Amino acid sequence: MSEAEKTLVTVATYNEMENLPRLVEEIFRYLPEADILVIDDDSPDGTGRWCDRQRAENPRLHCLHRSGKLGLGTAIVAGMRYAVERGYRYVLNMDADFSHHPKYLPALLAGMDPQDGESVDVMIGSRYVPGGGVEGWPLKRRLMSRAVNLYARRLLGLRPKDCSGGLRCYRVETLARLDFDSIRSRGYSFQEEVLWRLKRQGARLGETPIIFADRKLGVSKIDSGEALEALRIIFALGVENILRR
């Protein structure tokens, strides 16, 4: 397979030692041809060191080390830049905590350029289309997620039903035209912001159903400060969206 045919799966990690070894194994099981890039922010639990050791045995596993916890949004951007620079064709992003099961990766990839349908530039692993859903979240968390999603869709004028989820496949050629420096989100609002920017440059967005499972091992990295910051950025982008009309 030539480089240009290749797929990269990126996984941002901060203290995911309990999840990453099994996740890497499962990704290779479902996508044996793909490369994996772990973007680790100097995890105190040694996730990055594990990655380096593992790479010695499997050169298809790549590790990007950053100096400290710099935010999920900037980690994903680093993965996207990596995919553009090395000429991959597709890049898939996913969380490390098994909320996004690797079993969905082939369906996302297959939806990009289907033989019997229209191609898309971004395929979203979607909780909110028929067949999708969330497992293990209390009602309060479900409602909050729905509310944030609706807030972002309305403010940014986005059509997809799930604009905040982090399991996605992007066409790298499309990302190459994106001005990464213009992205304001360092944290969680990255997911909505990147869709909004790509849609404005004419990208076609699609959705494939997934069941999102709550994290079973390790702890959540999102705190209320980061969550508020995400809402603030989406609001600011919404204002920009109205002014540009």
Ligand X SMILES: Nc1nc2c(ncn2[C@@H]2O[C@H](COP(=O)(O)OP(=O)(O)OP(=O)(O)O)[C@@H](O)[C@H]2O)c(=O)[nH]1
Nearer to Mg ion, 95 or 121 (CB): 95
Kindly state the tokens that stand for 137.
């979240």
Q: Nearest Cα to 204, choosing from 174, 167, 163?
A: 174
Smallest gap from residue 66 Cβ to ligand X (A) = 7
Nearer to Mg ion, 11 or 108 (CB): 11
DSSP sequence for 65-124: E-SS---HHHHHHHHHHHHHHTT-SEEEEE-SSSSS-GGGHHHHHHTTS-TTS---SEEE
Q: How long is the chain?
A: 245
Nearer to ligand X, 168 or 221 (CB): 221
State the DSSP H helix or E strand holding residue 20, giving kind and residue range, or none if neither.
helix 20-30
Kindly state the tokens that stand for 160.
């997809």
Nearer to ligand X, 173 or 214 (CB): 214
Question: For Mg ion, which residue of 60, 215, 229, 236 counts as binding (CB under 5 A)?
Answer: 215
Site track 50-89 with Mg ion (rule: CB under 5 A), x = hit: ----------------------------------------
* Residue 14 binding target from Mg ion, ligand X, none, CB below 5 to 8 Å by type: ligand X
* Residue 72 binding target from Mg ion, ligand X, none, CB below 5 to 8 Å by type: ligand X
Where does residue 100 rank: exposed (0-12), middle (13-18), buried (19+ CB within 10 A)?
buried
* Residue 192 binding target from ligand X, Mg ion, none, CB below 5 to 8 Å by type: none
Residues interacting with Mg ion, by CB under 5 A? Answer: 95, 97, 99, 215
